[in-house]
Amino acid sequence: FVNKRDAYLTLPGYSTDEISISLEGAVESANTIRVKKGTKFKEVIQKAGVLEGADLSTFEMEKSLKSDQLIIVPSKKMLTIFLEGDVSPRGKFTIEAGSSLHDLYQQLGKTPLTNNRKLMNEEVLKF
């Protein structure tokens, strides 16, 4: 071989048109995958699959990825609420952190309240 670059070009399975991306966190399978150069974040996420509750809000979906990038997909912060009385479901219920009473009523299929008070973790609500 004339130089190190020539050696890489002759190795089987090595392609200069591909990059390595490592995925961790709220994804179906945390691992390293190889994708074509120019692949966008949204394509990698579709290929890897994300778990329910994954928080993708901070990512730029149309951004092209670079080789040897580590992507850690965080989970949304959740609150535990306890529902009692004339409501279904009763008992332990989880909702995204920062949600209000209005949001909770919408999720339960009830007429939304005008009260936009934020919910607190492990709060007990009686209906």
Q: What is the DSSP string of 103-120?
A: HHHHHTTSPPPS--PBP-
Q: Is pLDDT of 2 > 60?
A: no
Angle at alpha carbon of residue 44, lines to 55 and 51, rounded to 5°: 35
pLDDT value for 87 = 84
Which uninterrupted H or E stretch holds 125? strand 123-126
- C-alpha 105/C-alpha 53 separation (Å) is 19
- Our separate counts of H helices and E strands in the chain read 3, 6
Mean pLDDT of 44-67: 91
Q: Is pLDDT of 1 > 60?
A: no
pLDDT value for 3 = 47
81 vs 89 pLDDT, higher one: 81
User: What distance separates the 2 farthest-apart alpha carbons in the chain?
Assistant: 78
Whole-model pTM: value is 0.61
Ranges 28-42, 77-91, 107-121: which has the least confidence: 107-121
Give the pLDDT band (50/70/90) at residue 56: very high
